[in-house]
Structure 1
Amino acid sequence: MKKTPNFLADRICLNVLAHSVENAKDCYEAAEGHVVLGVLSKNYDTDEAAIADMKLYQAATENALSVGLGAGDPNQSQMVSRISGELQPQHVNQVFTGVGTSRATLKQEETVINGLISPTGKVGMVNIATGPLSSQVPAGEVPIETAIALLKDMGGSSVKYFPMKGLAYKDEYEAVAKACAENDFMLEPTGGIDLENFEEIIQIAVDAGVKKIIPHVYSSIIDKETGNTKPKDVKVLYEMMKRVLNQ
């Protein structure tokens, strides 16, 4: 599997959506390679179409591909696993219950696979019932430490904490960051992150001691007319990342 020069080496790596191959290249350059580009499986009718198109993104960005579900849609879980096995991307987004399948399909340990867990309104507790069936029943609330251990058991690399709604769950997010640091696990804050709250969100994770942080910044930096993620905003976020790390 071809690696990007910065993805696994850096403490913070952006995750933004790519609307086209050209948009992916522009964003990759704006972040000087410190980014993975999300392409959503939900946008494709078949595995074959997704694989053919995503290979173009891989070629244009040194395989800085993040295979996405599509707004955390649990019904995309199996498709993500299937196409990731073929593509061998740098990064895979999964619902909690899909992590083991993705790792088994990839047949290697290098690709970062996140597992989606959600806020519960209770500090230290998270909802792991994010799969196709489990998301339709009452929440499965467990201590964050338990969720991390389960993800490790399944071959997961990181917690995808979604939907955060920016800093609406700040106290809960701080507890998640602390647990990720104490258990040597990556953290991917996701949902409602924008140019105003980005720096505080990554600062919380850095202060907690998280070893690798992959913030997802999506709709807030997308041009509503073109659908493209704005490279100039990606550059602003990258400058914020450098500022936090160089303090």
Structure 2
Amino acid sequence: MNLKAKYFNDRVCLNVLTNSVENAKAIYDASEGHVLVGILSKNYPSVDEAVTDMKRYQDVIDNAISVGLGAGDPGQWKMVAEISQIIQPQHINQACTATGYTRALVGQEETIINSMISPSGRVGYVNMATGILSREQTPTEVPVRTAIQMIKEMGANSIKFFPMKGLSTRDEYVEVCKAVAELDFMMEPTGGIDLDNFEEIVQIALDAGVKRVIPHVYSSIIDAETGATRIEDVEALYEIIKKIA
């Protein structure tokens, strides 16, 4: 199975959602393969049904699948890990505390696994309590560089900084990007990203020296009637990427 898709050499790679094989293929073509196509575990009643359906996507989009939780729901952590063990996707979204379990289950180092952490409200610190139990407790305030090193130790490749709420957490995001660059990690800004703020959000990471940025652009480019990601918006985002990266 191909774990070296086109995006592996990209400094910026899109991550967008899909609701059908046809929409996924159109997304892949519109971005010339420089994309990870998100399929949410939460949309399936069981691991077996998810695996059966996701396998339909693999050949069509060169296995450029990003297995998702579903709105960052940590309750999906085990389902995400078990789906990923079987289909061996290019990319996995995971709650911070489930990162090590997931890396062990997929059994290889090539798949990118992100570790979901949240803004803490304090510049230079992040909240690592994003698991199904820990999120119900007092949020943590861990120095971002310490958090990154802990996440590396758990087998992740990337920070998923969620929910960013667009640029409302800009100061925190800037500091996280600096730390990610300094410690040779990957950055996945997520939450409230749209066509208007996309360029600035990505540029902040590039200016900080982040080696690979995977911005997640979700609800803002989904057609409310069809539930499909708008291909014209994918094209617009890809043009921005080609311009700045």
TM-score normalised to the size of structure 1? Answer: 0.98
User: Amino acid of the residue matched to residue 103 of structure 2?
Assistant: R
8 Å CA contact retained: 2:5, 2:64: no
- Cα distance between partner residues in 2 of 1:244 and 1:98: 34
Aligned to 2:15: 15
Aligned to 2:114: 114
RMSD (CA atoms)? 0.7
Aligned to 1:157: 157
Write out aligned runs for 1:31-180 (5 A).
31-180=31-180
8 Å CA contact retained: 2:77, 2:94: yes
Aligned length: 245
8 Å CA contact retained: 1:4, 1:33: no
Q: Secondary structure at the match of 1:101?
A: helix
Write out per-residue CA displacement over residues 20-54 of structure 1, whole angstroms, 9 at most, x where no aligned residue.
Answer: 11000000001000000000000101110000001
Q: Secondary structure at the match of 2:168?
A: coil
User: Amino acid of the residue matched to residue 219 of structure 2?
Assistant: S
User: Amino acid of the residue matched to residue 44 of structure 2?
Assistant: Y
Unaligned 5+ segments in structure 1 are none
Q: Secondary structure at the match of 1:166?
A: coil
Q: Secondary structure at the match of 1:184?
A: coil
Aligned to 1:214: 214
Write out aligned runs for 1:194-205 (5 A).
194-205=194-205
Q: Secondary structure at the match of 2:9?
A: coil
- Cα distance between partner residues in 2 of 1:188 and 1:167: 14
Unaligned 5+ segments in structure 2 are none
- Cα distance between partner residues in 2 of 1:142 and 1:101: 21
Q: Give the CA deviation at 1:4.
A: 4.9
Q: Secondary structure at the match of 2:181?
A: helix
- Cα distance between partner residues in 2 of 1:152 and 1:73: 22
- Cα distance between partner residues in 2 of 1:175 and 1:103: 27
Seq. identity, %: 60
User: Amino acid of the residue matched to residue 138 of structure 2?
Assistant: P
- Cα distance between partner residues in 2 of 1:9 and 1:192: 26
8 Å CA contact retained: 1:4, 1:63: no
Q: Give the CA deviation at 1:5.
A: 3.4
8 Å CA contact retained: 1:4, 1:64: no
User: Amino acid of the residue matched to residue 244 of structure 2?
Assistant: V
- Cα distance between partner residues in 2 of 1:22 and 1:4: 22
8 Å CA contact retained: 2:3, 2:110: no
8 Å CA contact retained: 1:162, 1:191: yes
User: Amino acid of the residue matched to residue 60 of structure 1?
Assistant: V
- Cα distance between partner residues in 2 of 1:4 and 1:146: 30
TM-score normalised to the size of structure 2? Answer: 0.99
8 Å CA contact retained: 2:38, 2:66: yes
User: Amino acid of the residue matched to residue 28 of structure 1?
Assistant: Y
8 Å CA contact retained: 1:4, 1:62: no
